[in-house]
Amino acid sequence: MQFENSLEFAEKMDQQDPLAAIRNDFAIPKMDNGDDEVYLCGNSLGLQPKLAAEYVQRELAQWASLGVKGHFSGDFPWMPYHEFLSEGFADLVGAKTEEVVAMNTLTANLHFMMVSFYRPTETRHKILIEEHAFPSDHYAVESQIKFHGFDPKESMLLIKPRAGEDLIRNEDLIELIEKEGESIALIMLPGVQYYTGQVFDMQAITQLGHAKGCKVGFDLAHAAGNIVMNLHDWQVDFACWCTYKYLNSGPGSVAGCFVHENHHKDEDLPRFAGWWGHDKSTRFKMENTFKPIHSAEAWQLSNPPVLSLAAIRGSLDTIKKAGGINALREKSLKLTGFMRHLLTTQIPERITILTPSEEKYSGSQLSLTVRLNEKDDPERGKRVFTALEDAGVTGDWRYPNVIRVAPVPQYNSFKDVYRFVEILKNAIDNH
């Protein structure tokens, strides 16, 4: 793709963009002067699809007019409501519909998955995660290890970038699994790293992990709705993701979970059970013998919050209208490619991009550090970030010194990207 440094070029890209009109299906936050913000924070909280609001309103109306009968009435009865999301989730992560379910929240799902897939023994008790995993993942893993009576100092195996580097090297990861594989019970890594935006080679990791006898699960918080995956074919054991980042389903919205069909018929697998995981045909007989559904639904505990599921359904329908994850990814490569081009040609001496440049190893997000010279103080990056916010750019700041920006193919335009880089240049010049 040949990019040019001009507003005209950005506008031309928008005119030729088959997904440009999807932006109108979202509520875009405004600046004080009434202009649209340059919203580049979909990696943290995605914008509201108009369909999400419509579908939530619809369930509120159902509740108002039908009361308890809403469980069984209308086009989208509450009783099987989570099933209406299965197809959309399955398309996003490359799974069969039986392998995915909407339930709980991300960290809760990580715990429930570890109950089933982290079964430490004296000789195989380690969990491999990144040294700088998202804190919630770190806490979840550490507490699971302690729960089983093991010592995190011995059982948490941490992979980290080499000294002076930001990214975890594939070869280092492979070497570690080769070396320690026999003692690893579970490999739990992100699909996309939240701080650097690095994409992990999930297929290769799963293959190698399985060859060593490990279970392999992924946290897809930053991958779902961002990159193309094939969890089923890759034989991934489990995966969990939240729906409020690239899946635009609202703050704290219900999460997604994948369990490979290889595990669905294993009724001896330990799990923390609840009535929503019980065989649907006898669930309401209120008997005491738990009979797990032979699908990912077996891991459900409770009847789910339908208002949140309705918002997810609105988001998934919007994604479907856009042509699904392949169409989004195609635009994303151009959109983020354009941003990378502008940054590297216009201010290469001022900005470092941590995110890998290879398509295979990057998604929508770019993680930027503002480079300092001898005279700059270390707070400069933060000051530049604040100046961006004042000028109508919403991105996010992650300690110690990264500005994360994610042009999202569903609602960001090439013009947004152009505006962002102009504003950033200004902010750097003036701070």
Ligand X SMILES: *Cc1c(COP(=O)(O)O)cnc(C)c1O
- Within 8 A by CB and 6+ apart from 6, the residues are none
**Residue 3 or 117 having the CB closest to ligand X:** 117
Residues in the chain: 431
Partners of 100 in the beta sheet?
Answer: 258
List the binding residues for pyridoxal 5'-phosphate: 106-107, 134-137, 219, 222, 244, 275, 303
**Residue 10 or 354 having the CB closest to ligand X:** 354
**Least Å distance between CB 296 and ligand X?**
18
Residue pointed to by tokens 């504003």: 423
Give the SS3 label for residue 290. coil
**Residue 222 or 278 having the CB closest to ligand X:** 222
**Residue 206 or 253 having the CB closest to ligand X:** 253
**Least Å distance between CB 419 and ligand X?**
27
Cα-Cα-Cα-Cα dihedral sign, residues 245, 246, 247, 249: positive
| Of 173, 175, 181, 179, nearest in space to 211 by CA | 181
- Within 8 A by CB and 6+ apart from 266, the residues are none
Give the SS3 label for residue 173. helix
Instruction: Dig out the tokens for 80 from the structure.
Output: 């099987």
**Least Å distance between CB 244 and ligand X?**
7
**Residue 105 or 352 having the CB closest to ligand X:** 105
List the binding residues: 106-107, 134-137, 219, 222, 244, 275, 303
**Residue 136 or 401 having the CB closest to ligand X:** 136
Q: List residues near ligand X by CB under 6 A.
A: 105-107, 134, 136-137, 190, 194, 219, 221-222, 242
Give the separation between CA 12 and CA 7, rounded to whole angstroms: 9
**Least Å distance between CB 220 and ligand X?**
9
Residue pointed to by tokens 């992560």: 93
**Least Å distance between CB 72 and ligand X?**
31
Q: Is residue 275 a contact partner of residue 283, using CB atoms and an 8 Å limit? A: yes
First to last CA, the chain: 33
Q: List the alpha helices (DSSP H) in 118-163.
A: 135-147, 152-155
**Least Å distance between CB 134 and ligand X?**
3
Q: Is residue 243 a contact partner of residue 254, using CB atoms and an 8 Å limit? A: yes
